């Protein structure tokens, strides 16, 4: 069960255009300790700018610890890690080796969190990797994503989790300095009036914590559920919870990836689920303006979550993920308005009659993609659980 604590300040950051300047300013203001965890850390304009801020912090005496996933951060290892290490930044790579085409369960357990803690006084949590929002020759609009900047008592589990994972990976990497002291303990004094909780998914104590937080909010919903999720391939429990909510009169809206996604197979597999949802009154919207990378939700205008977790087997049952749950009407309304603008200006409603008249070849493509993804889940050992 997710337990929220009062007294927090939570600032919503939409896209890298808001996130990266705020993050760089916080790094430049750091005095003692920085933890940064990211799935991707690119050597592009944005990545080099953040790397420069981390080098500056290390050179003025701040302890800087960066952890990047071994699969998502393959380019980081080659292009950025040497210069960061030379400047005094401590770097760990999470599960550095990944065999090509391997579907072994332990090989698929990636570090998918995007978390930064600074001096125990603030943290950033969300879905935004350290990479440019704009892809070469791509959409003129930025990648669509969110993060939050938090202060207050919820910092305690965020900082403790970052430090614990660092010790775990350092120990697994045979590093000598495993039991490093926490130089900047989290400041737990009140910073605002928002109730918030930090929810992680790991392979030990919190295997289903994020999924359970979603399901509890969906089960309590009385008026509206809005979910924006980049890679949406929910298991039976999640599908049924959404269907039951719609059938008891809750308006359920899903904002999903359109054709511009970087994993087209999963987009087509998700579309195989559209008839199930449309027949039960769930509203579906596909985002086409740019690449949708968001993992957020709003329920009844008073509960919200922002984080790194997709609603698919790889996030909910395999990867290390991190979300912040916010119980505050003002924050939820702000996020709801942002999602409404995205659906209005950048998405297309998926109408039931269109999917009833879908050509046979399109139906077959969706069905085949669905079967391939299901097979991959089964090979990974999670077919029965998902």
Catalytic residue among 163, 291, 293, 386: 293
Per annotation, catalytic residue among 69, 112, 145, 386: 112
* 112 belongs to the catalytic site: yes
Q: Which CATH architecture has domain 10-192?
A: 2-Layer Sandwich (3.30)
Quick check: is 28 catalytic?
no
- At residue 69's C-alpha, the angle toward residues 237 and 42, to 5°, is 115
Domain with CATH 3.30.870.10 in the chain: 10-192, 199-379
> What is the percent of the chain where pLDDT is above 70?
89
Cα(56)–Cα(61) distance, rounded to whole angstroms?
9
CATH number of 199-379: 3.30.870.10
**Active-site residue flag, 45:** no
Catalytically annotated residue among 133, 145, 300, 328: 300
Q: Comparing 40-54, 167-181, 237-251, which segment has the lowest mean pLDDT?
A: 167-181
Reply yes or no on whether 295 is catalytic: yes
pLDDT tens digit sequence for 91-106:
999 988 655 545 455 5
- List alpha helices for 173-282, DSSP H: 209-220, 236-247, 264-271, 274-279
Convert the pLDDT of each residue in 292-336 to its tens digit: 999 999 999 999 999 999 998 777 777 899 999 999 999 999 999
| Confidence class for position 179, pLDDT limits 50, 70, 90 | low
């Amino acid at each position: 069960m997710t337990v929220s604590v009062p007294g927090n300040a939570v600032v919503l950051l939409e896209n890298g255009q808001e996130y990266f300047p705020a993050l760089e300013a916080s790094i430049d203001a750091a005095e003692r300790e920085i933890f940064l965890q990211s799935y991707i850390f690119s050597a592009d304009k944005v990545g080099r700018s953040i790397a420069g801020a981390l080098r500056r912090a290390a050179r003025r005496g701040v302890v800087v610890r960066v952890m990047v996933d071994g699969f998502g951060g393959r380019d980081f290892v080659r292009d950025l890690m040497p210069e960061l290490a030379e400047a005094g930044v401590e770097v760990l790579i999470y599960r550095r080796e990944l065999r090509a085409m391997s579907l072994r369960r332990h090989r698929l357990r990636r570090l998918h969190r995007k978390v930064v803690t600074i001096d125990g006084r603030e943290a950033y949590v969300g879905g935004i990797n350290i990479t440019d929002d704009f892809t070469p020759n791509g959409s003129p609009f930025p990648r669509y994503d969110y993060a939050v900047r938090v202060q207050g008592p919820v910092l305690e589990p965020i900082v403790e989790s970052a430090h614990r994972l660092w010790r775990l990976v350092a120990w697994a990497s045979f590093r000598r300095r495993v039991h490093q002291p926490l130089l900047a303990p989290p400041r737990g004094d009140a910073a605002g009036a928002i109730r918030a909780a930090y929810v992680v998914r790991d392979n030990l104590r919190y295997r289903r914590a994020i999924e359970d937080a979603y399901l509890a909010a969906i089960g309590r919903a009385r008026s509206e559920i809005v979910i924006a999720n980049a890679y949406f391939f929910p298991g039976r429990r999640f599908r049924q919870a959404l269907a039951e909510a719609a059938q008891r009169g809750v308006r359920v809206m899903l904002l999903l990836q359109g054709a511009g996604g970087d994993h087209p197979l999963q987009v087509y597999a998700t579309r195989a689920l559209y008839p199930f949802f449309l027949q039960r009154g769930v509203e579906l919207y596909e985002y086409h303006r740019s690449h949708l990378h968001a993992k957020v939700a709003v329920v009844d205008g008073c509960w919200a979550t922002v984080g790194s977790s997709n609603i698919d087997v790889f996030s909910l049952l395999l990867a290390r993920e991190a979300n912040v749950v916010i119980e505050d009407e003002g924050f939820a309304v702000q996020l709801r308005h942002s999602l409404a603008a995205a659906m209005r200006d950048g998405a297309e409603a998926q109408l039931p009659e269109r999917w009833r008249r879908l050509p046979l070849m399109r139906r077959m493509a969706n069905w085949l993609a669905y079967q391939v993804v299901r097979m991959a889940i089964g090979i990974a050992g999670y077919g029965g659980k998902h």
